[in-house]
Amino acid sequence: MTKQCPVGVFDSGVGGLTVVQQISQQIPEGRIIYFGDTAHVPYGARSREELIRFADIICQFLLDQGAEVIVDACNSTSAVALDFLKEKYAVPIIGVIEPGLEAAVSQTRNGRVGVIATEATIKSAAHKDKAQIRGADVFIVGQACPLFVPIVESGKVTSQEAYMAAKKYLEPLQKAGIDTLILGCTHYPFLTPVLQEILGPDVTVVDPAVETVRQLKKVVDSINKYDIIGSHEYFVSGEPEMFQQVGEKLIGHQKLPKVKQVSLNWGD
């Protein structure tokens, strides 16, 4: 029997399900405790202080539920809160920014990498900073896409609205000659068919979840704890029905366990 430790995963809403899908592929026996902060979605326009406070409260909740590793499956909080969280909590906490950058740096052929993300992530310049720290020889072009999260949260990922927004957001990146695009928000992989159709086959679209979960697997294997095999639990701060309905649609009409609403003390 395979052994796994409980993995806490959080995001502002359904976006982290793209990371859960990767966990299910790479660590099918993994136990997941998911938190979607649907009372506060979208995170993109929120301040650094707010994002750190939300991420902190959510991590404490996941630890109280028994998580022994946490995946910050939100680029916006990974960009601004990860250092704080790693400093504060003793468990391993994995973000999504560095894995995405790592994958893009290894895949680009012309060194021109686009990043589409929330306003908070683009404003943080986290990808550019990390690239500089790594000494990576890449030119990064960022583009905030504020319309995407509401589109994904309402499940309209193949709508005309999604297509029009994507065309507008991708144009400057295409003009900049990118050959690789980082999906710098965990909601965006649900838009991959639309994005790839506009970009064409010559642009590589990078979903950071793949590399994130590769790194998670190493951590989980090293902890080597027993737990309930493969069980998933879902919690949200807003109303659970919408998350349940849209989440199931986005993951290909598969069933999610019953999503539970929890009320946390957000300090506001």
Of 39 and 223, nearer to ligand DGL (C-beta) is 39
Clarify whether 59 is annotated catalytic: no
Of 42 and 92, nearer to ligand DGL (C-beta) is 42
Clarify whether 5 is annotated catalytic: no
Of 126 and 178, nearer to ligand DGL (C-beta) is 126
Nearest to 148 by CA among 75, 82, 96, 55: 75
- At 220, the amino acid letter reads V
For 78, the token pair is 């990974």
Q: Is residue 74 a contact residue for ligand DGL (CB under 6 A)?
A: yes
Using CB under 6 A as the binding criterion, the count of chain residues that bind ligand DGL stands at 16
Q: Is residue 44 a contact residue for ligand DGL (CB under 6 A)?
A: yes
CA distances from 36 to 87, 136, 204, 210, 257 (A): 23, 33, 29, 20, 14
For ligand DGL, which residue of 21, 22, 76, 124 counts as binding (CB under 6 A)?
Answer: 76
Segment 92-151, which members bind ligand DGL (CB under 6 A)?
118, 121, 149
Q: Is residue 12 a contact residue for ligand DGL (CB under 6 A)?
A: yes
Assess contact for 67 and 43: CB atoms under 8 A: no
For ligand DGL, which residue of 10, 34, 35, 43 counts as binding (CB under 6 A)?
Answer: 43
Of 41 and 199, nearer to ligand DGL (C-beta) is 41
Segment 219-258, which members bind ligand DGL (CB under 6 A)?
none
Cis preceding linkage at 42, omega within 30: yes
Segment 142-181, which members bind ligand DGL (CB under 6 A)?
149
Contacts 24+ apart (CB under 8 A), 193-199: 193/157, 193/158, 194/157, 194/158, 194/162, 194/163, 194/166, 195/166, 195/170, 198/163, 198/166, 198/167, 198/170, 199/170, 199/174
Q: Which residues bind ligand DGL (CB under 6 A)?
A: 11-12, 15, 41-44, 74-76, 118, 121, 149, 185-187
